[in-house]
Amino acid sequence: MKMKDKVLLIGSEGIGRGDDILGFEILVNLLNTLVNREDRPYAIIFWNVSVKLLAEGSPLIPYLKALEDKGLKLLAGQLCVNELELSGKMAVGKIATMNEILDLILHHEVVSL
């Protein structure tokens, strides 16, 4: 599969298990590096608490906005946004239904971070 056929799936506010602060720093580094690359995934799906990263006040907004401006789709799970009371507070990305998320998961190579 080509890189554009990949979808990244993020479910927490950091990458990997262990130290939460280090996991967040790894995520910041990954997004910052991704901004400067020509090869990017087709989309990034955020669900569970990771949807907070797309909301107003998130320190990741500059990186995520830069990625979105370069054509990367950023999707926040609708159920998660509603449960965390973030409706109307999303600064970047698009709220996606489970059907939209499943379309991506079932038709692309998924990399869970």
Q: What does the pLDDT look like over 60-89, one tens digit per residue?
A: 999 999 999 999 999 999 999 999 999 999
**Residue 20 belongs to what H/E stretch?**
helix 20-35
6-10 β-sheet, strand order: 94-96, 73-77, 43-46, 6-10, 109-112
Cα dihedral 85/87/90/93 (nearest 10): 120
Q: What does the pLDDT look like over 5-25, one tens digit per residue?
A: 899 999 999 998 889 999 999
Q: Would the pLDDT of 3 be above 70?
A: no
Q: Would the pLDDT of 49 be above 80?
A: yes
- Calculate ∠ Cα 12-46-67, nearest 5°: 115
Query: What six digits make up the tokens of 17?
Result: 């298990």
**Whole-model pTM above 0.85?**
yes
Length of the chain: 113
3 state SS of 93: coil
